Amino acid sequence: MARTLRIVDDRPVVRMMVLETDQPHPDTQDEKGSYSDILHKHFEKAGKHHDPPLGIETDSRFVVTEKGGKIPPFEDFNDFHAVLITGSMYDAHGDNQWILDLMHLIRDLWVRRPDIKFSGICFGHQLLSRLLGAEVSPHPAEEWELAHSRIDLAEVGQRLFRTDKDHLTLHQMHQDHVATTPTVESSKGLLAPGTNVHVWGSSGHTAIQGLYIRDRLFTSQAHVGFDSDMVKHEMDMRVKDGAIQDKDQVNEAEETASFEHDGEVVARAILRFFYGEDEGIE
């Protein structure tokens, strides 16, 4: 559990720093706010279902310097023990200066702040995997994974999500993927000898749907906070940009975007991880 966990109104409070690596579609931003705002509401709801109920406090930094953002200094994380990196339209395997600077910051935090727990969504999942030496690349068939998708769970995934089901369904919005699982060797000293790196789920498109390292890392390729409107807005941006060209796939994805999904199940699991309840999962 975080060593400086606050108590507010008799509830433990998890403090999370959100590193925003992009901005939502303008319509989404008008309706729901920034990615940090969206995630705060999502985790706040998850915290109410925890026993005991958990509060959630979030701060955020927009880090895309190409769009007026700023990479925060190390000291900005002094009062935080949970960091979440959002999704983005940028490539996590790219060499944009802000991406390299962000990786330098995360590496510094990983080494000097062993109490910090890291999570990442989509781009964030890929960036953290890259940090640990995994290969991140476009899908070999250049296919997208869109909207409502089935994710088959490994045993560790069932334990993390506290379910007997063999799968979850979540919203996806990606073509790039994590192609290899990080190892102690690939991490170049970031992972201690004997560290177990688990893949908690896979799909037909993407074999590594999320990574888990006990008390340190919990990522998700899927967007746990997306709803049907957000999915449609994000697809619309990518179609207009020419990134998504398969109109039949887009039409099919739009039809499934409103289907029930397990985003809150994953949010509850990540919140438990931040709170310190993942000990013994392995």
Q: What are the pLDDT digits (tens) for 20-63? A: 999 988 888 999 999 999 999 999 999 999 998 999 999 999 99
Q: Domains in the chain: how many in total?
A: 1
User: Domain with 27 in it: what CATH number?
Assistant: 3.40.50.880
pLDDT, mean of residues 55-78: 97
Asked, for residue 280, whether it belongs to a domain, the answer is no
Q: CA-CA distances (angstroms) from residue 231 to 2, 140, 262, 264?
A: 33, 23, 15, 16
Classify residue 165: in a domain, yes or no: yes
CB-neighbour burial class of residue 249 (10 A; exposed 0-12, middle 13-18, buried 19+): middle
**What domain range is 182 assigned to?**
6-275
Evaluate whether residue 281 is within a structural domain: no
Is position 166 within any domain?
Answer: yes
The neighbour count for residue 282, using CB atoms within 10 Å, is 11
Q: Does 44 map to a domain?
A: yes
What is the predicted pLDDT for the residue at 9? 62
Instruction: Assess whether pLDDT exceeds 80 at residue 5.
Output: no
User: Does residue 1 lie in a domain region?
Assistant: no
Instruction: Look at residue 246 and tell me if it is in a domain.
Output: yes
Residue type, 276: G
Please write the tens of the pLDDT for every residue from 157-192.
999 999 999 999 998 888 899 999 999 999 999 999
